[in-house]
Chains A and B, each alone.
Chain A
Amino acid sequence: MRTRPQISQNIASIARVRVGARGAENPVKSLNSLDLYDVRGLLTEDEQMVQDSVARFVDGKVLPIIGECFEQARFPKELIPEIASLGLLGSSIQGYGCAGLNGVAYGLICQELERGDSGLRSLVSVQSSLVMYPIFTYGSEEQKQRWLPAMARGDAIGCFGLTEPHGGSDPSNMKTVAKKKGSDWVLNGAKMWITNGSIADVAVVWANTDDGVHGFLVEQGMQGFDTPEVHHKMSLRASVTSALYFDNVHVPEANVLPKVKGLKGPLSCLTQARYGISWGVIGAAQACLKDVLGYTQTRELFNRPLNHNQAVQLRLAEMARQITLAQLLSLRLGRLKDQGEMQPAQVSLAKWNNVRMAINIARDARDLLGGAGITTEFCPIRHALNLESVITYEGTETVHQLVIGKEITGVDAF
C-alpha cells in the first residue's frame, strides 16, 4: 500500500515533465540540408575553425579548377605549397613543424578536401597517414629530422608501397624482398597502384626479409628504382598513380625504419588512413547532394520542378539520411581515436559504410541530373568515378566486411 502513492507521484512528475517539455518553447528551425543533425554543433570551436579554413581553401582554390584537372588527367601540384602552408600535411603530428591537431580535426580536413576531390584528399592521406605517420612512429630521430619538417612544408612528397601487382588484398603474400649485403640492403620486386609514386621524393616501401617484413625509405634517384606512372585511368584522374620497380636497389641501413617489424607496421598506417577516408567521403557525398538539390529545384518537367515529385524526394531524403548516419559514425570514431580507444575493426566498419554510402549517392545523383550529369559541369560523375578507387584502395569493401565478420564470429574467412 505504501508504494502506490509513490508510483502515482512518479507518474505525475513524469507527466509534468512531459507537459513541460511540450509546453516549452521549441521553435521549428530550418535545418542545414547537408548536416541534418547539426553534427557541426558537436565540434569544438577549434575543430570548427579547422573545417571553415579548409572549406574556404577548397571553395576558393580547388573547385574552380578541379573539373578540368580531372578531365585532363592532371594532378594540380600547384596547390601543394598552399596545402602545406595551411598546415594540412602531417597535421596530427606534434612537433617537427606540424600542427599537432586531434583526430577529429584531421577527419574534417579530409572531409573538406574530398568535397573538392578524392584525388586531393588522397595526396594528404598518403603524405600524412602513410608516410609521415610511420616515419614519426617507427623512424629514428635522424629520419624524423630529415623528412618530417620538409614533408610538412611540402618540399618533399612521399608515397607508400605495400600493394603488389599480384594481389593487394593479401599483403602477407609479399614478394618484394630485401637482402642484407654488407652494410646495405638490396631490394628487388615491384609495387603497384602507388599514389604519388612518380612525384615522390621518398617511398616508404614494405619488403620481406629473412627476419619478416620491414619498412625501407627508398629515395627518388636511387640506382635501380623506377616509378612509371599508370595511365588510362578512369578514376582518381587528378591524382598520380604509379608502379614502383626495384632492380637491385641499394638502400643504406640508416634508411630502414628501426622501430617496427612485421605486417602490423603497414597495417597500422592503413588504420590511420582509412580513418581519414571514412570522413573524406562524407564530403564527396555532400557535394553530390548539394548539386542535385539545386538541380532538382530548378529543373521543370511535366510543368513542375523535379523536386515536387515524391519519387525524387524519396531519393534526396535517402541521401540526407545516409550522410547523417555516416557523419555520426565518423565523429564517434574520431572521439574514440582521440581517447586512444579506436579499434581497427571499428575503422573497417566506418570505411565500408561510408564509402558505400558515398558511391551510392554519387551514382544516384548522377542519374538525377540526366544528361547534364555526364559532364564535369556537375560533380557527381567525377565523385562517382573517383569513389571506384576509394572503395577499392585501403582495403576493398569485401576485405572490410571480412574484418567485421572475423570480429563478430571469431573466424578468419579471408
Chain B
Amino acid sequence: MKILVGIKRVVDFSVRVQVKKDGSGVNTDGVKLGINPFDEIALEEALRIRERGTQAEVVAVSIGPAEVQPQLRTALAMGADRAILVETGEVLQPLMVARVFHELVKRENADLVILGKQAIDDDSNQTGQMLAALWDRPQATFASKVELKDKTLMVTREVDAGLETIEIDLPAVITTDLRLNTPRFVKMPDIMKARSKPLQVLKLEELGVTAAPKLEVTSYAPPPQRVGGKKVEDVTALVATLRQRGIL
C-alpha cells in the first residue's frame, strides 16, 4: 500500500506571529519555520500504520519553493521512505493544493492520503475535503483514531457532539486532529540516514496544474489588543455588571 502525506512549511508554532505594518502579510523575516503540526501528526500516523505491520510505502509531499526541502528532509528523518517536492513560488490555496495531490495520487497509485485538518498559517481546513471530491473517494476528517483492516479504515472523528466512528473503504483521504497521536522526535542516526533517501523535485507545471488563485487576500490585521479585566467589589456588583452586559 502507498500512503501520501502532506508536509507544509509554516511559521513555527512557537513563534508569536506578527502582521507586517502595511497589512500585506505576515512577517517571515528571520522567523523560524517548521512543519505544520497537523502534518507531523499525519506523518506519524502513516509511520505507525507501517510499523503495525502493514506493508506500506510512506511518501512525504510538499508544495512550495525549493526552501521547503529541509522540512522534507525532516520528514525523511522521521521515517518517510521518500519525498516529493512540487516546486512553485505561487501562493498556496486549498483548491490548487488539492489538485496537485489529485495528480500525484493518480501518478503514484496511492491508496491513502493523510493530511492535516488545517495548516496553522491560513487555517483553511479545506484541502482534504476538496481532494476527496476531486478524487471521488471517501473522506474521514478530524481523525482522532485510525484502524486499518484490510481495505477498510475505522476512523474515530472529533465532531461537535463528541466522537463519531465511521468505516470507509480505501482508497481514501484522512485529515488529522490534534489528539490522533504525538509525533516522535527525530533521532540522530536517522538524520544521517535521511541524506540518502530519495527526494524528487517536480515543477508545478509538469503536473499540469495551474495556480490560478481563486481567492484574493485583501489585507491582514492582527486581532484587537486584549484589554485588561476589571475587578468588581463584591458578588452583588458582579451580578449587576453581568446583567448590565446582558450575560445573565
Question: What is the interface of chain A, defined by CB distance below 8 A to chain B?
Answer: 27, 29-32, 38, 45-46, 48-50, 52-53, 56-57, 59, 82, 85-88, 91, 98-101, 105, 109
A46: contacting residue among B34, B187, B192, CB under 8 A: B192
What residues of A have a CB within 8 angstroms of the CB of B189 in the complex? 87, 98-100
Are B185 and A57 neighbours in the complex by a CB distance under 8 Å?
yes
B72 to chain A, nearest CB (A): 10
Answer whether A53 and B185 are a contact pair too, CB < 8 Å, given A29-B30, A30-B27, A99-B192.
Answer: yes
Are B70 and A48 neighbours in the complex by a CB distance under 8 Å?
yes
Are A101 and B187 neighbours in the complex by a CB distance under 8 Å?
no
A52: contacting residue among B186, B190, B195, CB under 8 A: B186
What residues of A have a CB within 8 angstroms of the CB of B195 in the complex? 46
Size band of the B side of the interface? 20 to 34
Closest chain B residue, CB of each to CB of A29: B29
Are A99 and B188 neighbours in the complex by a CB distance under 8 Å?
yes
How far apart sit A31 and B31, CA to CA, in the bound complex (Å)? Answer: 8
B62 within 8 A of A: no
Q: Would you list which residues of chain B between 56 and 85 have a CB under 8 Å from chain A?
A: 69-70, 73-74, 77
Contact mask B134-176 → A, CB, 8 Å, 1/0? Answer: 0000000000000000000000000000000000000000000
Closest chain A residue, CB of each to CB of B195: A46
Closest chain B residue, CB of each to CB of A92: B188
Are B185 and A86 neighbours in the complex by a CB distance under 8 Å?
yes
B188: contacting residue among A59, A82, A88, CB under 8 A: A88
How far apart sit A235 and B192, CA to CA, in the bound complex (Å)? Answer: 36
A101: contacting residue among B29, B30, B73, B192, CB under 8 A: B192
How far apart sit A53 and B40, CA to CA, in the bound complex (Å)? Answer: 13
B75 to chain A, nearest CB (A): 11
How far apart sit A99 and B192, CA to CA, in the bound complex (Å)? Answer: 7
Are B30 and A31 neighbours in the complex by a CB distance under 8 Å?
yes
Q: What 20 new A-B contacts, CB under 8 Å, besides A30-B29, A46-B73, A53-B185?
A: A30-B30, A45-B69, A49-B70, A49-B186, A49-B191, A52-B34, A52-B186, A53-B186, A53-B188, A53-B191, A56-B185, A57-B185, A59-B14, A85-B187, A86-B186, A87-B189, A88-B188, A99-B187, A99-B189, A101-B192
A-B residue pairs, 5 tightest by C-beta: A87-B188, A99-B188, A53-B186, A29-B29, A99-B189
How far apart sit A176 and B187, CA to CA, in the bound complex (Å)? Answer: 40
Are A101 and B188 neighbours in the complex by a CB distance under 8 Å?
yes
Q: Would you list which residues of chain B between 69 and 115 have a CB under 8 Å from chain A?
A: 69-70, 73-74, 77
What residues of A have a CB within 8 angstroms of the CB of B74 in the complex? 49, 52
What would be 20 A-B contacts, judged by CB atoms less than 8 Å apart?
A: A29-B30, A30-B29, A32-B30, A32-B32, A45-B73, A46-B191, A46-B192, A49-B74, A52-B186, A53-B77, A56-B185, A82-B185, A85-B187, A86-B186, A86-B187, A86-B188, A87-B189, A88-B188, A99-B187, A100-B189
Closest chain B residue, CB of each to CB of A100: B192
What residues of A have a CB within 8 angstroms of the CB of B14 in the complex? 59
Question: What is the interface of chain B, defined by CB distance below 8 A to chain A?
Answer: 14, 18, 27, 29-30, 32, 34, 69-70, 73-74, 77, 185-192, 194-195
Are A49 and B73 neighbours in the complex by a CB distance under 8 Å?
yes
How far apart sit A52 and B192, CA to CA, in the bound complex (Å)? Answer: 15
What residues of B have a CB within 8 angstroms of the CB of A30 in the complex? 18, 27, 29-30
How far apart sit A48 and B70, CA to CA, in the bound complex (Å)? Answer: 9
A279 to chain B, nearest CB (A): 16
B65 to chain A, nearest CB (A): 15
Are B30 and A38 neighbours in the complex by a CB distance under 8 Å?
yes
What residues of B have a CB within 8 angstroms of the CB of A52 in the complex? 34, 74, 186
A87: contacting residue among B30, B32, B187, CB under 8 A: B187
What residues of A have a CB within 8 angstroms of the CB of B186 in the complex? 49, 52-53, 86
What residues of A have a CB within 8 angstroms of the CB of B32 in the complex? 32
A21 to chain B, nearest CB (A): 20
Answer whether A45 and B185 are a contact pair too, CB < 8 Å, given A30-B29, A30-B30.
Answer: no
What residues of A have a CB within 8 angstroms of the CB of B70 in the complex? 45, 48-49
B191: contacting residue among A57, A59, A82, A99, CB under 8 A: A99
Are A50 and B30 neighbours in the complex by a CB distance under 8 Å?
no
Closest chain B residue, CB of each to CB of A61: B185
What residues of B have a CB within 8 angstroms of the CB of A101 in the complex? 188, 191-192
B131 to chain A, nearest CB (A): 29
How far apart sit A29 and B28, CA to CA, in the bound complex (Å)? Answer: 9
A32 to chain B, nearest CB (A): 6
How far apart sit A81 and B2, CA to CA, in the bound complex (Å)? Answer: 32
How far apart sit A100 and B189, CA to CA, in the bound complex (Å)? Answer: 7
B151 to chain A, nearest CB (A): 34
Closest chain A residue, CB of each to CB of B29: A29
Identify the interface centre among B32, B77, B191: most chain A CB within 10 Å of its CB.
B191
What residues of B have a CB within 8 angstroms of the CB of A99 in the complex? 187-189, 191-192
How far apart sit A38 and B30, CA to CA, in the bound complex (Å)? Answer: 8
Are B185 and A49 neighbours in the complex by a CB distance under 8 Å?
no
What residues of B have a CB within 8 angstroms of the CB of A49 in the complex? 70, 73-74, 77, 186, 191, 194
Closest chain A residue, CB of each to CB of B18: A30
How far apart sit A85 and B74, CA to CA, in the bound complex (Å)? Answer: 17
How far apart sit A399 and B30, CA to CA, in the bound complex (Å)? Answer: 39
How far apart sit A31 and B29, CA to CA, in the bound complex (Å)? Answer: 8
What residues of A have a CB within 8 angstroms of the CB of B188 in the complex? 50, 53, 86-88, 91, 99, 101, 105, 109
What residues of B have a CB within 8 angstroms of the CB of A105 in the complex? 188
B247 to chain A, nearest CB (A): 29
How far apart sit A91 and B189, CA to CA, in the bound complex (Å)? Answer: 8
